[in-house]
C-alpha cells in the first residue's frame, strides 16, 4: 500500500473534490461508490483513493436520467 492510499478526507473535502454536495457524498457511500471509515463514534472519513477513482471514472448517472424517455 502506497503512502497516499490511506489518506482520509472529511465528507466536505470529498464533496469539494467531486464538485457535489455533502449529501451526495453520503448517498454515494451508501450505494457503495465511495469507501467510508468510521474513525470515532461520530466522525466518518472517506478514503481519498475511492474519491480519486470516481474522479477518473466519472460519477454514476442518476437513475432518472437512465430511465428518461423523450416525448414523442
pTM over 0.95: no
Give the pLDDT score at 71.
Answer: 58
| Alpha-carbon torsion angle 57, 26, 7, 52, nearest 10 | 10
pLDDT of residue 50: 95
What is the chain's pLDDT, residue by residue, as a tens digit (72 residues)?
455 568 999 999 999 999 999 999 999 999 889 999 999 999 999 999 999 999 998 887 766 445 555 556
Residue 40 has which C-alpha cell?
Answer: 470515532
Listed residue (18, 71, 72) closest to 46, CA to CA:
18
The predicted pLDDT at position 18 comes to 94
Amino acid at each position: 500500500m502506497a503512502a497516499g492510499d490511506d489518506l482520509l478526507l472529511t465528507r466536505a473535502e470529498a464533496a469539494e473534490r467531486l464538485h457535489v454536495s455533502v449529501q451526495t457524498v453520503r448517498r454515494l457511500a451508501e450505494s457503495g461508490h465511495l469507501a467510508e471509515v468510521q474513525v470515532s463514534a461520530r466522525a466518518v472519513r472517506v478514503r481519498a483513493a475511492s474519491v480519486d477513482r470516481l474522479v477518473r471514472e466519472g460519477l454514476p448517472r442518476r437513475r432518472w436520467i437512465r430511465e428518461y424517455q423523450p416525448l414523442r
